[in-house]
Structure 1
Amino acid sequence: MTAADPDVAALLARWAERGEPAMFAGTDTDEGIAAARDRFAALVRETVRPADAAPEVRDDGPVPVRVHRPAERRTDALVVHAHGGGWVLGGGDVYDPIAARLADDTGAVVVAVDYRLAPEHRFPKPLHDVLGGLAWAVDHAADWDVDPHRVALAGDSAGANLVAGAALARRDRRQSVVGTLLVYPPPDFEGRYPSVRENGEGFFLTAGDVVACSKLYLGSANPRGDIRLSPLRADLAGLGPTIVATAGLDPLRDAGRAFAEALTAAGVDARLREHPTLVHGFVGFTGAVPAADEAVAALHREFAALIS
């Protein structure tokens, strides 16, 4: 197994020393879910590179969105973003620095959808929110002087799952996507992948976390055969150019690889970008781990080239 980046290892050791629990520890109660959300928000604030500007919060659509304008506009594409956090964590302003960085690095207006969270709002409500927020953003493209016909999608973790579903929905409506960025996506609720076992303990996201957040999102829904949950199992032909980024020490690594391979097999311009020494969550580690900051910068440069 590849060793973790030294700064990642130091960060994980610091959290272990102070007794940080697993991300989804205690989420079998309402109080535990609230505590996990607070804990996740605090960890992001501790490790992310801060943003210089606050977003414009819009709540006049079907779902609140947070609009991030870049310091310098370099494209008229509209980027719609969905945050990570296992469909349970990460709402509100937690992801503002991450979405703001995406806007500044790409020179694009980024509309971040503040979708409702599980378990209060289980599948398919978060997906419906992303689809609704996307449609609303396209309808309001003139508000930010962007081209409603040049839509791009981006998300990490659970957000990557949601925007992959949105990309399929647009494809089915014969609406193009100029580029999609999926960072450590969970694209398959049905498969079993070796990386869940190999990286299931000691690397921020645990195998237990994967099970816990899936249960919180699904509730009583049966994932088998539902491509809204498992976009890897859909007909992927006709999707736009897609960047799939993985972390080498992530339980979701192999599922992300499998998704990139399935996209390529379907004739999609798919680019797999692997980061062997990083862990799940690295888009939020940009202020604490130089290698994570460099990885995010490289992914954003490639995404910017797709949507320019």
Structure 2
Amino acid sequence: MRRFSFLLLSVFSFHSSGWAKIEPETYVYKTVGDLPISLDVYQPEEGENRPVIVWIHGGALIIGSKVWIKQEQLKAYLDHGYVVVSIDYRLAPETKLPEIIADVRDALIWVREKGPEMFGIDPNRMAVVGHSAGGYLTLMSG
């Protein structure tokens, strides 16, 4: 319950100061035509079998980027031992909503399949959170 409360507080504590400065590892989780779609992985300093937070940016589905995760929010997650994965997805209006949702689902599948070996995550302890349109996409991702 304590971790759940922490997650709720962190989602609602979006401050207006500074974008993330902690350097991630970037991976392509999907390619559509010639367009690679990537995600950023931020890892705490140590630990095995760690919980993971998949973060989805907002932007009304028409703007935004995985780099929009706030430094304070990211630091709080990492300090509590979470691996954080911030994803990109194709944007509207060029991409229709079903394809945007498919991008999010494909990112979640990639994290579940690759994450345990690559990042030491426990795929059974995955939380999906988002800001604004990203929150909507968390609900639509199933």
Amino acid in structure 2 at the alignment position of 1:163: T
Amino acid in structure 2 at the alignment position of 1:95: I
Matched pairs, number:
120
Given candidates 113, 121, 138, the residue that maps to 1:146 is 121
Contact 2:20 2:69 in 1 (8 A): no
Q: Residue 51 in 1 paired to residue 26 in 2? A: no
Q: Residue 79 in 1 paired to residue 48 in 2? A: no
- State the alpha-carbon separation in 1 of the partners of residues 48 and 113 from structure 2: 21
- State the alpha-carbon separation in 2 of the partners of residues 102 and 64 from structure 1: 23
Given candidates 51, 54, 62, the residue that maps to 1:88 is 62
3-state SS of the aligned residue for 1:84?
Answer: coil
Deviation at 1:129, TM superposition (A): 0.6
- State the alpha-carbon separation in 2 of the partners of residues 74 and 154 from structure 1: 22
- State the alpha-carbon separation in 2 of the partners of residues 85 and 110 from structure 1: 20
Higher relative contact order (CA 8 A, sep 6+): 2
Amino acid in structure 1 at the alignment position of 2:68: V
3-state SS of the aligned residue for 1:138?
Answer: helix
2:4 is matched with which residue?
none
| Structure 1: segments with no counterpart, 5+ residues | 1-46, 170-308
Contact 1:74 1:108 in 2 (8 A): no
Amino acid in structure 2 at the alignment position of 1:126: I
Amino acid in structure 2 at the alignment position of 1:54: E
Contact 2:39 2:66 in 1 (8 A): no
| Structure 2: segments with no counterpart, 5+ residues | 1-15, 31-36
- State the alpha-carbon separation in 1 of the partners of residues 87 and 73 from structure 2: 10
Deviations 1:268-290 (A, max 9, x none): xxxxxxxxxxxxxxxxxxxxxxx
Deviation at 1:100, TM superposition (A): 2.7
Q: Residue 131 in 1 paired to residue 100 in 2? A: no
Contact 1:77 1:108 in 2 (8 A): yes
Deviations 1:172-213 (A, max 9, x none): xxxxxxxxxxxxxxxxxxxxxxxxxxxxxxxxxxxxxxxxxx
1:214 is matched with which residue?
none
CA change 1:103–1:73 in 2 (3 A) is: farther
Contact 1:68 1:99 in 2 (8 A): no
Deviation at 1:96, TM superposition (A): 6.1
Deviation at 1:148, TM superposition (A): 1.6
Amino acid in structure 2 at the alignment position of 1:136: W
| Percent of aligned positions that are identical | 31
- Hey, which bits of structure 1, 4+ residues long, moved more than 6 A? none
Q: Which has the higher strand share?
A: 2
1:122 is matched with which residue?
96
- State the alpha-carbon separation in 2 of the partners of residues 113 and 50 from structure 1: 15
Contact 1:81 1:99 in 2 (8 A): no
3-state SS of the aligned residue for 1:100?
Answer: helix
